[in-house]
Amino acid sequence: MSNHSEAVFEKQPMWAGGRSPFNVSYGKLMMWIFLLSDAFTFSSLLIQYGAQRFSNVQNAVTTKWPDPASIFNHFPFMHGLHLPLLFVSVMTFILILSSVTMVLAVEAGHRNSKKEVERYMIYTILGGVAFLSCQAWEWATFIHEGARLDGNFFGITKEGYAHLGSVHFGSHFEWDKAVDRTNGPVPFAALFFIVTGFHGFHVFSGVVINVVMYIMTVRGTFERRGHYEMIEKAGLYWHFVDLVWVFVFTFFYLI
């Protein structure tokens, strides 16, 4: 795997107990198993999305499902402009960048370079916080437009595309449940909140973990230990969260 792993585990021709079969420590193995398990949790959420999504397809051409490009078209300080998916692309870019800095931190850890680990962990934490802030803004906008857990008025009706949100955006919007609920598939907004919320919770946990890792690095815990494996484990988690976002992004914004 890496210099570090080779340093920790002496090579033997054949594994017969007492040593790791995959040349990973049990801690890293546990993280992998946890991530596998977590992948199944996210799968169950995305399967729920898929089931709702595809049961709302009337035929190949017309669909009742709202068009994400028309809903997620806002950008901070660019009021009123139609900028489809621009903001979420920026979010995604930030998260992927933070994954890159995480890789750099792990790599610096292999070289036992404490200063560099600290620097890249700070960048990673900043990236995570930036992503969470973006998500907060996106949620706030979406809620402001009238999205609720218990109903949805985004969608396509017989009369054509109904997207009250941008019409009423910014005004004192009163959402009449009884009238508007017929417009779109009800679970649309609820799914958005639950799935991105669950992912956001993971990002939040990741930021907390990264902060802890940063503090431990600054205090020299890993330096004394002689290796930065904890950074690697946190990195595994962080990359997983990033990977899941790619799926969430694809499902909610692109399909």
- Cα of first residue to Cα of last residue in the chain, in angstroms, is 36
What does the alpha-carbon distance between residue 65 and residue 157 come to, in Å, rounded to a whole number? 10
Which range binds other proteins by CB under 8 A, 3-11, 69-77, 81-89, 166-174? 3-11
52 binds other proteins (CB under 8 A): yes
Phi-psi map region of 225: left, alpha, beta (phi>0 left; psi -120 to 50 alpha): alpha
156 binds other proteins (CB under 8 A): no
11 binds other proteins (CB under 8 A): no
194 binds other proteins (CB under 8 A): yes
Q: Which residues pair with 63 in a beta bridge?
A: 57
What does the alpha-carbon distance between residue 140 and residue 157 come to, in Å, rounded to a whole number? 25
51 binds other proteins (CB under 8 A): yes
Which range binds other proteins by CB under 8 A, 47-55, 73-81, 111-119, 133-141? 47-55
What does the alpha-carbon distance between residue 108 and residue 64 come to, in Å, rounded to a whole number? 50
Contact pick of 2, 6, 22, 54 for other proteins (by CB under 8 A): 22
What does the alpha-carbon distance between residue 235 and residue 232 come to, in Å, rounded to a whole number? 5
Subset of residues 195 to 214 that bind other proteins, contact rule: CB under 8 A:
198
Contact pick of 2, 3, 41, 205 for other proteins (by CB under 8 A): 41
